[in-house]
Structure 1
């Protein structure tokens, strides 16, 4: 399996887990309600899931239509932009989950409770639809960014990777819901955060490579070194590592600065920045 296909599996796995988690939280909340409210709520929940999936498919169709409608340089610019948008959304998702993940269940149950208290099943439908549409639309953007970064299309291999990602997500969700002690939700989110940050870095570097190839930015120097004798980023295991992590065997100055700056910012904002704030406050 190529690096891009592994990226697709990872994205679909992570986004599907979040969508399943939303559905699981709302379902568990409804199961604690009286029989009449439970039946009505579950019907609206199912309708919300379907509506959210349809909305996500609509957004994906718009993205694909725009990408195909543009031609020449405009298509190249659009695809480069979508690569950066996908990278930015992945990073934003990691930080959002880190900041609000603990309150997600409370917020979802609160919204569902208000909808049931008002005898308004449409509120529950809208809550589920928006949550599912958010995950689905993000997945569409991520997949387009991954495929655009490599110049590939949604072929049979990509569809298989999507199916594998969803199957893996469903398996992980069932294991975690069963209360497996070996892997808790906290461990899952921490591991997936690291994997997503690596994926975002890879997309960032691919987008930068495209901007350089389009002569929109300067690499600022000739290649600073050459480690292709050790790990060739153009083929074999080296190509896999490059597509997954953003590794470059012959980096110019600008890609090197962007790569280093990305990881420095990630470390400071996710870990070191918090410790510095605590130290300053004390």
Structure 2
């Protein structure tokens, strides 16, 4: 549940930041009322596109069964993990220039329709990413857990709205830069958990050899089926009895992610 809260919080906060930047730019223009209407129409269109993707995803799943469904679900879990990494790396490299880039796009847009298109694309992107992430997380939940997932997602949205309002009002103890820096690490931890779930599924389906299974057994110290071990397993991909393939995938993920983060920290030329 914590995973869903963090993902929705981060994605919603990014969308709200985009809307806030565009609203600030619109307030400085000679005809702000028409541009503001175009902005909110674009926000509505972006949300509609994201919801359409959600319906399409579940409709596609409902038409599949057996091995085709397994392939689809494994693919979505791995895609969600990769998308989180891509989003974190992109924001790490370009986040500091987002305001300038958005204002430049708004300046090039043709009136209210153009502003609406900029807003629609930005909101649809964040919404589509959220749909993919929640679908990937939902595959690891069953029954009542999915209601908890929905509650956590709603809580994440509410927290993002409250955070955005505090930052906009100049709260000294909050800043977008600090929030994004902390959430980057948390999102990468969630991505590693999704990757572990995908690798587990592929091993269980005999699509990937375990190599050595298990490498160790720490279930007597911290069982991954209940309590704190289950929480750590869901959030960070902890396994009490990991296979060698799982450990190799985990090591490769963090080696790649940290290497790319260091490269992304270099100024854009």
TM-score class, shorter: over 0.9
Equivalences for residues 1-282 of structure 1 within 5 A: 5-34=1-30, 37-115=31-109, 118=110, 120-150=111-141, 155-271=146-262, 273=263
Shift of 1:15: 0.5
User: 1 CA distance for matches of 2:46 and 2:251?
Assistant: 38
Unaligned runs of 5+ in 1: none
- Equivalenced residue count is 267
> Per-residue CA shift, 1:132-155, capped at 9, x if unaligned?
000001100000011113456884
Distance 1:137 1:185 in 2: 22
Query: 1:268 offset after TM fit, Å?
Result: 1.9
* More moved, 146-155 vs 94-103: 146-155
Deviations 1:51-76 (A, max 9, x none): 11111111111111111211112111
5+ residue gaps, structure 2: none
For 2:204 and 2:219, how far apart are their aligned partners in 1?
20
Q: Distance in 2 between matches of 1:70 and 1:151?
A: 19
Distance in 2 separating the partners of 1:223 and 1:156: 33
Do the aligned residues in 1 keep the contact of 2:61 with 2:69 (CA within 8 Å)? yes
Q: CA deviation at 1:180?
A: 2.2
Q: Give CA-to-partner distance per residue, 1:28-53, whole Å, 9 cap, x none.
A: 1111112xx10110010010011111
Structure 2 distance, partners of 1:78, 1:248, is: 24
Shift of 1:179: 2.1
- Tell me the distance in 2 between the aligned counterparts of 1:93 and 1:214: 29
Query: What CA RMSD, in Å, does the superposition of the two structures yield over aligned residues?
Result: 1.8
Tell me the SS of whatever aligns to 2:140.
helix
Shifted more, 89-98 versus 25-34: the winner is 25-34
Could you tell me whether the CA contact under 8 Å between 1:149 and 1:207 is conserved in 2?
Answer: no
User: Is the CA contact (8 Å cut-off) linking 1:15 and 1:136 kept in structure 2?
Assistant: yes
TM-score, normalised relative to structure 1: 0.90
SS at match of 1:183: coil
Q: How far apart in 1 are the matches of 2:135 and 2:143?
A: 9
